[in-house]
Amino acid sequence: MITEPEMFIPISPLLPLLLMVLVFLIHVKGGSFCLCWQCLLYNLHKNGHKQASDLSVIQSGVRKVLSKSKAAAILRLAFHDAGTFNLSDNSGGMNGSIVYELDRPENAGLSKAIKILDKAKREIDDIQHVSWADLISVAGAEAVSLCGGPAIPIKLGRLDTREPDPQGRLPEETLDASDLKRCFLRKGFSTQELVALSGAHTLGSKGFGNPNIFDNSYFKILIEKPWASSDGMSSMIGLPSDRALVEDDECSRWISIYADDEARFFNDFKNAYAKLVNSGASWRNI
C-alpha cells in the first residue's frame, strides 16, 4: 500500500529556542550559568545544521532502492510530477500530486516507480518525515548522478498536496517544436532550458545511446537523424517531439552546442532540473 501524503502541521521555529531560554533562566537562578549556556549554544548549533543531515538521510534511503535499470523511470516520475506547473497562476508543479494521477494515460508505468520509492519513504519516515515532493525531487537527482550525470543540489521543505493537479498540462509526445516552446514558456522555461531538459531522454529505451548512462548521446544522435534511414529499427528512435526539436533553428542551435560540449549540457541540465523541481512548490518553514 502506497504511503499517503501527510499534512504538515507547522510548529513555530522559535519554540525550541524559547524552551531552551526557559531552561537557561531556571539554571541561572540555581547558579549553573556556565553549564546551561554551553548547552544552549550546543543545541542552537545542532538545530542550525539539521537541514544537511535531512538530505543525507533521504539520499541514503533512495540509494538503497535505486539501480541504473530503474533510473529512467524515477527521473520520468520527477518530470511528470513537476511538469504540471503553470506559471500564470502558480499552480501545479512539484507537490507530490503524482500519487493521485497514476491512472492517467500519460503516467502509464509510473506506478512501478512509486512503489520503488514507497519502500524508501517508509524507511526514511521512521527516522524523519519526508514529503513525496521532496523524495521524488531527490530521487530524480540521484538517478541522474548514479548514471554518470551531474550532481544536483536539492533544496528541501516541499509540502504535499492532497489532490491531483489539473489534467492536460504535460507536453504531448506529438507536439512540434513551436508548440513545445509555447508549452514550456507557460511553465516559465526558455528554449535553452527546454532543450537541456529534453536531454533526460538519454536515459531509458528510446534509442539514444546506452540506456543506463547519462551523457550527451541524445544530442549527437538527434543531429544524425537516424529515423530518416530506411532501416526499420532506426525509424523507431525517439519520440515525434524529439525529432521535431532538431528541425527548429533555435532548438537545433542548442542541440549542436550540447552535442559538442557535454560539460555545458551537464551544467545547464543541473540548473534546469533544480528550477523544475522548485517550480510551484509550497514550502514549510525550516
**Closest-CA residue to 91 (of 195, 190, 164, 173):** 164
Distance CA 109, CA 113 (A): 8
Distance CA 185, CA 166 (A): 18
80 is catalytic: yes
**Cell numbers placing 69:** 535499470
79: amino acid identity, one letter: F
Are 269 and 246 in contact by the 8 Å Cβ rule? The answer is no
Burial class, 76, CB count within 10 angstroms (exposed 0-12 / middle 13-18 / buried 19+)? buried
93: amino acid identity, one letter: G
**Closest-CA residue to 119 (of 228, 217, 2, 214):** 2
DSSP 232: T
**Cell numbers placing 228:** 530518416
From the candidates 27, 45, 49, 80, give the one annotated as an active-site residue: 80
- Report the 3 state secondary structure along 34-85: HHHHHHHHHHHHHHHCHHHHHHHHHHHHHHHHCCHHHHHHHHHHHHHHHCCC
Are 236 and 160 in contact by the 8 Å Cβ rule? The answer is no
Non-local (6+) Cβ contacts of 96 within 8 A are: 5, 81, 131, 132, 133, 136, 158, 160, 161
Q: Where in the sequence numbering do the catalytic residues fall?
A: 80
